[in-house]
Amino acid sequence: MQFGIGHIVPEDHATGCLVLGSYAKRTRAGKAGAMQLSRAGERADRAAKGAITRALARGDLPHRVGATLLLHAVSGLKAQRVLLVSFGDLKELGVAKYRDALRGAATALKDLACADATLAFLDLHVPGRSPAWHVGQAVMALRDAFYRFDQLKTRKKAPAPALVRVTLAQFPGPVAPEAQRTLKEAVATADGVAFARTLGNLPSNICTPSYLADEARKLAKQFKLDIEVLERRDMDKLGMGALVSVTRGSREAPKLIVLKYRGAERKARPIVFVGKGITFDTGGISLKPAGEMDEMKFDMSGAGSVLGALRALAGMRAPLNAIGVIPACENMPGGGASKPGDIVTTLSGQTVEVLNTDAEGRLILCDALTYAERFNPEVIVDIATLTGACVIALGHIAAGVFANDQKLADELLAAGEDAWDRCWQLPLWEDYQEQLRSNFADMANIGGRPAGSITAASFLARFTRKQRWAHLDVAGTAWKSGREKGSTGRPVPLLVKFALRHAKPAR
Ligand code: BES
Ligand code: MN
Ligand code: ZN
């Protein structure tokens, strides 16, 4: 889908579908009053001699936010169709409702046969959000609704939507100078999200560690990134005993992928993103129960989000340096698999008693985090579907964020709020370290039932003492279950916003 931005004259604008915003204005008495139109809508309505307001007055457009009404061949307009979208009461228009309205518009557009459409409601604003923010949200909502993953279906594929070109209309007033840049950033971010979603949705028999490495190599070629892939023998030689211990039960070759994007001068220290890339988590010898185990194909979502974020940053030529470090392997039972009680020596030299082989994410991450030190990072952020406990704590709304630096935590919280890809901070107090004590090694890899997400983060904290580091637990947000089962591409929007804001705090 192609996006453009420009000023339009609503009645003279030739398009397959002119999308207008409608909202209810409250009467003095506080009742929902008549429906009103966005500025471009008022102008189009005048040219159409009131045809649009008459349609509204008949009451066919529900007040429910995101409801739509399609009008054909409105006389006086060059547009073939007019799609009215309800934004509800403007006074109550917050981010969530605005996104509902966008989703409603996108869903309606998906079913139309027109190849191009123009969104002409950008004058309807969420208080406190910039014009650029509205452009970004519109792009993300459309791309989200038009995303498909049907390459593995041979029958009953939904027909491809006809819509290929979308214009974001600035009316009234000229196009803001920063609008083109915003658009470029939003499109690149949407590309990164789609990329991460597809990697997540692919089953583990296709999306293996080798497949992830190949996809990273393709990205490197396409966007001129540097890439290095470490093999098992390299990991052995380096002494990554924790990472190697997780892969022992699997026949799939583990990979440690390092992908580097350089958008700033060589001496600018990079942001390093470390992503958990377990392409399937059976639990290993501490085998998981069968129910919903298929969803453990999504256990590489952290890795997918790192690749997606780098793709986005490279695609928009962001003025910063970023490196992705991805430990990728399968967690399988088998004759060679690690067993509960086994003790491994990590790359850092610290020893770990593996009391539960299902707490494997922290084992691959700890060695990757130590490895990341060699890139002299400005900050390190790891992203992992790390604990079921995080889903219990925060559900599917917010990711958990932990940091050994409050300023870094604040930046991630703010970026998440901005991108509406939110996270929420949990404590990383030393008091929790006690739960990781082991009688036989420097630490255990589990800390018992209480505060499971915090003890997992506390484990990682032992490997990042020298760094400014944060950890995002995306176990509840990286994918959806049930009828809508599928990868969300989160937290790509958060990571991209964070990187852009971190590199240039003023924006
Ligand atoms: N990948 C899982 C975490 C997970 C579970 C994410 C369910 C989303 C939904 C992780 O490797 C894991 O198995 N964690 C264990 C840790 C426990 C053994 C300390 C968990 O959360 O049960
Ligand atoms: Mn596990
Ligand atoms: Zn896992």
Question: Relative to the CA of 445, which ligand 1 atom is closest?
Answer: 19
Domain boundaries along the sequence of the chain? 2-170, 191-500
> For residue 257, what are the CA distances in angstroms to 212, 216, 307, 313, 320?
8, 8, 10, 18, 20
Question: Relative to the CA of 476, which ligand 1 atom is closest?
Answer: 8
CATH class of 2-170: alpha beta
Catalytic option among 288, 468, 480, 501: 288
Beta bridge partners of 329: 278
CA 361 to ligand 3 centroid distance, Å: 5
**CA distance between the termini of the chain:** 27
Q: Could you tell me the pTM of the whole model?
A: 0.97
Q: Return the CATH superfamily for domain 191-500.
A: Zn peptidases (3.40.630.10)
Which residue's CA is minimally distant from atom 3 of ligand 1?
Answer: 387
pLDDT of residue 507: 43
Ligand 1 contact via 301 beta carbon (within 6 Å): no
CA 215 to ligand 2 centroid distance, Å: 24
Q: Count of alpha carbons within 13 Å of 34, Cβ hemisphere only?
A: 9
pLDDT for 115-155, tens place per residue?
999 999 999 999 999 999 999 999 999 999 999 999 999 98
CA dist., res. 453 & res. 474, Å (int): 11
Note if 248 is an active site residue: no
pLDDT for 296-345, tens place per residue?
999 999 999 999 999 999 999 999 999 999 999 999 999 999 999 999 99
CA dist., res. 265 & res. 7, Å (int): 36
Q: 397, 477 in Cβ contact below 8 A?
A: yes
Encode the chain (507 residues) as per-residue pLDDT tens digits.
Answer: 999 999 999 999 999 999 999 998 877 776 667 889 999 999 999 999 999 999 999 999 998 999 999 999 999 999 999 999 999 999 999 999 999 999 999 999 999 999 999 999 999 999 999 999 999 999 999 999 999 999 999 987 888 889 999 999 988 877 777 889 999 999 999 999 999 999 999 999 999 999 999 999 999 999 999 999 999 999 999 999 999 999 999 999 999 999 999 999 999 999 999 999 999 999 999 999 999 999 999 999 999 999 999 999 999 999 999 999 999 999 999 999 999 999 999 999 999 999 999 999 999 999 999 999 999 999 999 999 999 999 999 999 999 999 999 999 999 999 999 999 999 999 999 999 999 999 999 999 999 999 999 999 999 999 999 999 999 999 999 999 999 999 999 999 999 999 999 997 544
Ligand 1 contact via 445 beta carbon (within 6 Å): no
What does the radius of gyration of the chain's CA atoms come to, in whole angstroms? 25
Look up residue 249 and give its two tokens. 């039960």
Note if 165 is an active site residue: no
CA 486 to ligand 2 centroid distance, Å: 19
- Phi, psi torsion values for 33, nearest 5 degrees: -95, -160
Ligand 1 contact via 299 beta carbon (within 6 Å): yes
Q: Which amino acid is at 465?
A: R
Equal fold, 2-170 vs 191-500: no
Question: Relative to the CA of 456, which ligand 1 atom is closest?
Answer: 19
